[in-house]
Amino acid sequence: MGYFLLTGSTGLVGRYLVRELLESGYDLAVVVRSSKLESASERFDGVMRYWESELGYALPRPVVLEGNLTSPGLGLADEDRHWITKHCDAVIHVGASMVFREDQYGEPFRTNVGGMENILQFCREAELRRFHHVSTAYICGLRNGRILESDVDLGQELGNVYEQSKLRAEKLVRQADFEELTIYRPASVVGDYRTGFVTTTHGFYLPLQLAHIVADKIYVGDMNERFMGLLGLVGNEGKNLVPVDWLSKAIGKIVTRPALHGQTYHLASPKPVAVATIQRIIQQAIESYHPKALRAPGNVDLSTYESLFHEYMRIYQSHWRDDPKFDLTNTSAALPELPCPEMDEAALMRIARYPIERNFNLSSFKRLEPSFDVASYLSDKILSADQFVTTATRCNLQVNGRGGGQWQIWLYNDRINRIERGFDQDEANKCYMTSATFDLLRNGQLTVAESIGAGRLVIEGDPNRRKSLASALEKFVSVI
């Protein structure tokens, strides 16, 4: 199996899917756009540093490709396009714009529809024939009752531009000529079931954030009643909430089991949460975790904040409605061992607590330069292309941790003859170490034999070739 090509890796669902696939041992390449302040690699480094701090150990580093969904050809350099064609055999398209009101840049259509057109064209050119698309359960629009996983466009009225853009995107990908097309339709995504970690504030977080903003001025119970009243909710409506860690695990299991491909999956809960419960949790969470929250009704004139209520309501009113019943036939059959966890009050409190305690400042880790960047170091040691010879000793090298990555290494006459990003999937010989071990080797503080003996360097492959590969690595270390 080749590399998975993933979009949306810096978003909430995407970053969890990165962890899921890496921990399961799959090779991954990510398309990441740069920002005004950070390169694509620097942006993605924040994702990896979070997981490594959370897990307590170094992870393999995906191949990072700078690009943009909204650009033709995904904005990729020619070298990166060639690399994808050579190494990738499946796409996981998670990247999307969560905008509920069209903005001056044409979002969400620019990313969700235009981006889909761009990635489909790229797949045709790169001959990528297996496609996994993360859509949304809410392409059903304002329909009521039972929504089948086979339902797509039944002429339904759609509640907002986000739903419109996602339906158009799903129709586009269904019209494409893939050998395998698998579609995932999540319900309303919330933070990590265990930790509450979240990076975006949509859906459940809308009234929570509003309550947080005005908690020192308005009693949250009064705000809840007023806001939900403006939305026309009485409390018995159900919202289908799914934690992101379960969602990513479900997608990861289906992605990596070919027998499950070619279907559409509603990734939703069989037990929606009543709006009245959400109201109660919001009040309890604000009163418990907001340092300045009013604890009793006051004499504040709520009409003073009417414009703020209406602004929030206008954007999300169509989302805050009684959810239909999402049919789970395919999902239940595919993942009987992985039911969606029930979002009980304890789980909801954890999910509410996380953003409140951080004052809704959910930004990623601050940019840090790696103490040692293996990729940059190796690139300075490569011989010119005209010196490449086919008789060179070759192995796959994986360096986990900051500054690490995956490469194919060719050694000839005690020199690095050639280096390429990514593994050769047909090469059985693989070497694994962390960036810290690599740094010790290059500085002469460890030998290859010592590293192997201490378990800091692992060589896989043909037992008869391990000795020769270790010898080649000794030469490799002497070069660097």
Residue with the two structure tokens 């954030």: 209
Least trusted range by pLDDT, from 6-10, 403-407, 471-475: 471-475
Residue 329 sits in the same domain as residue 408? no
Confidence band for 365, pLDDT divided at 50, 70 and 90: low
Q: Please name every residue paired with 458 in a beta bridge, in sequence order, or none if there are none.
A: 432
pLDDT at 281: 97
| Residue 265: band (very low, low, confident or very high) from pLDDT cuts 50, 70, 90 | very high
What whole-number percentage of the chain has pLDDT above 70?
92
Looking at the fold, whether 384 and 328 belong to one and the same domain comes out as no
Nearest CA-CA partner of 475 in 419, 411, 383? 411
Predicted confidence band of residue 368 (pLDDT cuts 50, 70, 90): low
Residues 110 and 171 in one domain: yes
Residues 399 and 337 in one domain: no
Of the listed ranges 173-182, 192-201, 436-445, the one predicted with least confidence: 436-445
Q: Examine the domain organization and report whether 441 and 386 are in the same domain.
A: yes
pLDDT of residue 385: 46
Burial of residue 102, with CB atoms counted within 10 A of its CB: 0-12 exposed, 13-18 middle, 19 or more buried: middle
Lowest mean pLDDT among 46-55, 289-298, 317-326, 339-348: 289-298
Pick the range with the lowest mean pLDDT from 92-106, 141-155, 279-293, 465-479: 465-479
**Is 150 part of any domain?**
yes
Please report whether residue 351 resides in a domain. no
Residue range 12-20: mean pLDDT, rounded: 98
**Is the residue at 15 inside a domain?**
yes
Whether 82 and 26 share a structural domain: yes
Nearest to residue 119, comparing CAs of 164, 168, 176? 176
Q: Do 17 and 107 share a domain, yes or no?
A: yes
- How many structural domains comprise the chain? 2
Question: 359 or 305: which carries more pLDDT confidence?
Answer: 359
Q: Residue 390 sits in a domain of what CATH number?
A: 3.30.1050.10
Query: What percentage of residues in the chain have a pLDDT greater than 90?
Result: 65
Question: 298 lies in a domain?
Answer: no
Quick one: three-class SS letters along the chain? CCEEEEECCCCHHHHHHHHHHHHCCCCEEEEECCCCCCCHHHHHHHHHHHHHHHHCCCCCCCEEEECCCCCHHHHCCHHHHHHHHHHEEEEEECCCCCCCCCCCCCCCHHHHHHHHHHHHHHHHHHCCCEEEEECCHHHHCCCCCEECCCCCCCCCCCCCHHHHHHHHHHHHHHHCCCCEEEEEEECEEECCCCCCCCCCCCCCHHHHHHHHHHCCCCCHHHHHHHHHHHCCCCCCCEECEEEHHHHHHHHHHHHCCHHHCCCEEEECCCCCEEHHHHHHHHHHHHHHHCCCCCCCCCCCCHHHHHHHHHHHHHHHCCCCCCCCEECCHHHHHHCCCCCCCCCCHHHHHHHHHHHHHCCCCCCCCCCCCCCCCHHHHHHCCCCCHHHCCCCCEEEEEEEECCCCEEEEEEEECCEEEEEEECCCCCCCCEEEEEHHHHHHHHCCCCCHHHHHHCCCCEEECCHHHHHHHHHHHHHHHHHC
pTM value?
A: 0.93
Whether residue 103 lies inside any domain: the answer is yes
Domain of residue 39, residue span:
3-202+238-272+320-342
Same domain, 17 and 155: yes
Q: Are residues 61 and 141 in the same domain?
A: yes
| 387 has a pLDDT exceeding 60 | no
Q: How many CB atoms lie within 10 A of CB 442?
A: 17
What pLDDT does 122 receive? 98
Per-residue pLDDT, averaged over 342-355, amounts to: 98
- Can you state the angle between helices 78-87 and 115-126, rounded to 10 degrees? 60
**How far apart are alpha carbons 260 and 265 in whole angstroms?**
10
Whether residue 333 sits in one domain with residue 384: no
Is 104 in the same domain as 60? yes
Burial class (CB in 10 A: 0-12, 13-18, 19+), 362: middle
Same domain, 162 and 34: yes
Q: Is residue 423 assigned to a domain?
A: yes
39-48, 118-127, 215-224: which has the highest mean pLDDT? 118-127
Task: Report the pLDDT value the prediction gives residue 390, as an integer from 0 to 100.
Answer: 62
Asked if residue 285 belongs to a domain, the reply is no
Mean pLDDT over each residue of the chain, to the nearest integer: 90
pLDDT of residue 406: 94
Q: Is residue 305 assigned to a domain? A: no
Domain CATH for 247: 3.40.50.720
